[in-house]
Amino acid sequence: MFWLGTIKQQFALPVLAAGIALSSHGAERPPDRPAAAQSSQPTYRNPLLPGATMADPHVIRVNDLYYLYATTHTRGYDVYTSPDLVNWTNRGLAFDDPRRGVWAPDVFHHRRGDGKFYLYYTDSAAGQRPGGPKKQIGVAVADSPLGPFVDHAVLVTNAIDAHVFQDDDGALYFYYADLEKGFKIRGQRMTDPLTPRGEAKILLHPTDPWEKASGHVTEGPWMLKHQGVYYLMYSGSGADSPHYAIGYATAPSPLGPFTKFAGNPIVRRGGNVFGPGHHCVVAGPDGRLWMVYHQKANEGINWERFLAIDPLWFDEHGVIRAKTTRGAEAPAP
What CA–CA distance (Å, rounded) separates 45 from 67? Answer: 19
Question: How many domains, the chain?
Answer: 1
* Percent of the chain as helix, strand, coil, to the nearest 5: 5, 50, 45
Could you tell me how far CA 49 lies from the centroid of its own chain?
18
For residue 233, the model assigns a pLDDT of 98
| Domain of 10, in residue numbers | 2-331
Is pTM, for the whole model, over 0.85?
yes
- H-run or E-run covering 36: helix 35-39
| pLDDT tops 50 at residue 145 | yes
Q: What is the DSSP string of 225-286?
A: EETTEEEEEEEES-TTSTT-EEEEEEESSTT---EE-TT--SB--BTTBEEEEEEEEEE-TT
- 34-45 pLDDT, tens digit per residue, is 544 555 789 999
8 confidence band (pLDDT: 50, 70, 90): very low
SS3 112: coil
For residue 126, the model assigns a pLDDT of 79
Closest CA to 277 of 301, 241, 249, 311: 241
Give the CA diameter of the chain.
Answer: 60
CATH number of residue 103's parent domain: 2.115.10.20
Task: Say how many residues make up the chain.
Answer: 333
